């Protein structure tokens, strides 16, 4: 049997660095339990992940949903794709690897909001199924609701509020989802909204009804 030489037996720099990183991480337990957070807010935390083609209506629905839930007494916050790219993910581009990292980071942040007891509304194109699955995994014990805004490409391109489809068709914008980059539709979404044929109000009403069913307001939120 061939014996490993010294170089083969030593871990490489990357594996050694990863091992040192793992050894240095010790997660700290919170002093506030999930049940206490639920009692404070009157509902459980969770993630509402809106995915769909550009111009399918994600940001519009997300912000209106946030306002409606807030008026109902829910503690909620929206993570919008463009807003996140303007700050936390400002160093990322639109290659496949950067898109995946964009969603990985967003998924981890959304998980923190949900763990804190809030309803986190995440509005991201998130074109790859594997990335959305990773976001669901990051949610851990928190509820994760994948919502597909199933507007077809023709409708989204006709809307084109930011003029991005037109630029992509002219070749001025590369790796644009729906044109020269893929969108992998959810296989088993928790909710489907046909935003190509229903009004914004109809879609928001469906979202509100869904959240109220999945995260019922058990009691009035406890005031500080």
* Active site amino acids: 126
Radius of gyration of the chain (CA): 21
Instruction: Report the Cα 197 to chain-centroid distance in Å.
Output: 24
Contact between 75 and 117 under an 8 Å Cβ cutoff? The reply is: yes
Contact between 65 and 201 under an 8 Å Cβ cutoff? The reply is: no
Burial 91-105 (b: 16+ CB within 10 A, else e): ebeeeeeebbbbbeb
Report the DSSP pairing between strands 76-80 and 191-193.
Answer: unpaired
- Give the Å distances, CA to CA, from 202 to 37, 64, 162, 189: 31, 12, 23, 19
């Amino acid at each position: 049997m061939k014996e490993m030489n010294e170089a083969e037996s030593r871990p490489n720099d990357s594996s050694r660095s990863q091992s040192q990183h793992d050894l240095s991480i010790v997660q700290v337990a919170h002093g506030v339990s999930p049940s206490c957070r639920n009692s404070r807010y009157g509902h459980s935390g969770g993630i509402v992940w809106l995915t769909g083609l550009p111009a399918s209506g994600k940001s519009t629905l997300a912000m209106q949903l946030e306002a409606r839930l807030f008026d109902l007494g829910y503690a909620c916050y929206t993570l919008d794709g463009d807003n996140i790219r303007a700050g936390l993910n400002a160093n990322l581009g639109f290659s496949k690897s950067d898109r995946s990292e964009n969603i990985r980071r967003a998924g981890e942040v959304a998980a923190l909001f949900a763990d804190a007891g809030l309803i986190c509304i995440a509005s991201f194109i998130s074109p790859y199924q594997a990335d959305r699955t990773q976001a669901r995994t990051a949610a851990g014990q928190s509820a994760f609701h994948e919502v597909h805004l199933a507007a077809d490409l023709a409708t989204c391109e006709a809307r084109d509020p930011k003029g991005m489809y037109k630029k992509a068709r002219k070749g001025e914008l590369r790796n644009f989802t729906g044109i020269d980059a893929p969108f992998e539709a959810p296989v088993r979404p928790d909710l489907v909204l046909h935003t190509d044929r229903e009004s914004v109000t109809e879609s928001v009403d469906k979202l509100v009804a869904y959240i109220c069913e999945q995260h019922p307001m058990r009691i009035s939120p406890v005031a500080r």
